Structure 1
C-alpha cells in the first residue's frame, strides 16, 4: 500500500473487483436501428448513438470503451460513462455492474480521467483497443462500500453544481442572443454598408521574423497557432505576413462563413498568414464594440453565409464583405447599445470563469479522494464498521 492510502483500503484489479457484463451488450447496425425507433437510449463508448424500442439493461452501470480515439485525450474526454435506467449498449463498450467490493459509480469516477494508454493495443493504423483481458488486469484502489458511497455522493454534488452553472450560462447566452437581435437587428435603425466605415489594412511584416504569429478561430478569436495545433504551422519567412494591431479585425476569406472573424484584443500586435484579410474601422462612424456584437448576431452570420455561397470556393472577399448592410444608428446610440450588450457578455464571461474553476477544483478533489489522500467524514456508525 502507498503511504497515503488508509490501511483498510485495498488494492485489486478490475477483473477481481468488478463484474464485467458484456453479455448484456446488444450489437445492432445503424440500418437495423432505423426500423426500431423508440424511447430507450442506445449507447456507444462515448455517449448515446440512438434510441430504440426495447432495452436490455435496467439499473446503474458504468461503461468504458472497448475501442476509440477518446483514450488519447484523457484531459478533455471522459473515459467512462455512468448510466441509470433502462437502456442498451453496443459491442464497442464494456459494461460494468456493481459488486459487493466495487460499485459501478466508483468505477466510473475512478477511471473517468485516468489514462489507460499502457493497457491499449493497436494493430497497424487501426483504432486503439482495450480488450476484456487488458481491462481485467487494470489495478483499482477500493475503499469500503460506505466510503465509496460517500465519495460518490460528494462528486455528484459537485457535478450538480457544474450542471447548474452550465445551464445558467446557456440561459444567459440565449438571453444575450435575444437582446442582440432586439437592440440591433430589430431596432429599426437606418442601415449602411460595412464599407462606409471599414477599410483594408495592408501593412506587411517587412524585415522581421521574430513577430508573434497568430491565427483566427471561430470559437476563441485570435490565438497562437501552437495553442490551436500540435506544432507551429507558420512559414520560416514571415516577411510577407500581414501585420495586425490591437483593435483591428481579421478574417480568413475561406472561413469567415463559419464565424472565423475577430478583433485583436489580447495582444498589441501580431502577424497573420498572407491569406487573411486585415481591416480597421473609423470609430467616428462606428462604435467598435457595437460592430463586434453585430458580427456575433444571427443576421450578420446569415448575410456572410449567403455572400459566401455566391463564390465558387465559398470565400468572401473584402469587397463582398464591405457590401454587407448593417443597422447603423448614430454613434451615441451605438455606444449605449454596446454598453448594455457588453454587460451581458461580461456576466457570461464571469460565469464561464466560475465554471472552469469548479471543474478544476473537482478534478483536484477527485485526485485526492480517489487515492485516499483526503478523506470524507462518515457517520460514527460507518467509521466503526471499518474496524
Structure 2
C-alpha cells in the first residue's frame, strides 16, 4: 500500500507544472499560502464539497484526484494571475487601502478569469470597475478623509472637549445595574423577558457602572448574582473603571474593548459602509462620540442589553476546563459545551493535562487565547453589535438574540480551531519522518 503523502507536497508538485502563475507563487515555486486559502481550496478543489481532499495527508487516489483538478484548471489559474496584476495596479490608482491585497484580490481575480478569460484590451477598465463594485466608489477615500479631518489641531481640540463633556454628562440610570432584567432573560430566554431587557436601561446601567470607582467590583457582583461565577479579565478596560477613550488612534494605550479610540471605531464604520450610503465624516465622528458616551459604547439600549448579556455569560465560557459547573444558567452551559466538545479543545486539554506542549513549538500566545476564550468572544460580540448600532438594527426577539450569541461563540471557536490546526500541520513533516 502506497505511503500517504503530505497534501502540501502534492499541491506544490502539481502547481509547479502550471506556467505563468508566478505572482500567485512562493519563492520555492509552490502556491502561496493565501493562494491555497483564497483560490485553490475554496474555488478549484472545493474542499467544502470534497473534504477528503482537504486532509493534511492524502492517500494515492486522493493525491491523484487533487492533482487532476488543479491541472485541469490551469488555463483559468493563468488568467487569474494576469487579472491579479491588473487589480493590484488599479488598487494603487484608485488609492484603495482597505484589506490585504491578496485576501481581497485573489478571489476577485479568479472571478474575473471565470467571467472574462484572459485579460484583453479593456482589462484596466474592467479591473477598476470590479474594485469599485467591491469597495464602493473611492474605497479608501473615507479613511483618508477621516485622517485629514482629525489631523486639524482645532478640530481635534473641539472634538476632544465634546467627547469629555458628553462622557461626564451621561447620568447613571436609576434602579441599580439592571440585574433583575438580565437574570430573567438568562433564566427564561423568552420573548417577554427579552422585551423587558431591550426596553430597559439595564445594559447601559451596567456599562456606565464600570466608569465609577470600583466599577469592576460592581460588574463582578452582577455576574456572580446571575451565574455564580467569578469574573476573569474580560479585556474591557485597563483599570478598575473605564477611562475616557481617546479621539485619535495614536493615543490609545492598550487594546481594551471599551477604551478604543473614536477614530478606530469610525474607521470600522467606514469599512462596512458603501460610499454612496455614507454620511459626511464629521457626522460619523459626532455620531460615534455620542455612542462612546453611552453604556458599553453602544447607543441603542437593546444592543447594550445584548452586550451586558454577553458579559454575564462570558465567565462560563471556559472550554479548556470542560463542562461548566453546576448552578450556571443552562444557556451558558450549552454555549460552553458547544466549544468544549470540539476536537481541537479535547486535544489541547489532553496536551495540557499531560504537561506536554500543545504544538511542536510551544506557543504561549495560542495557549493564552484558548484560556481567554471569554475575552475573544466578547471582542467579536461587541464588534457585531457596533455594526448593528451604526445601522440601527436590533434583534427582533429572543430567538434572534440566542442565534446572535451562539453564532459569535461558533465564530470564535472556528477561528481558534484554525490557529491550532495550522500549528499542528507544521509538525506533520517530523511525524512522517518518524513513521
Higher helix share: 2
- Higher relative CO (Cα under 8 Å, sequence separation at least 6) belongs to 1
Bigger radius of gyration among the two: 1
TM-score by length of 2: 0.26
Could you say which structure has the higher strand fraction? 1
**What is the TM-score when the length of structure 1 is the normalising length?**
0.29
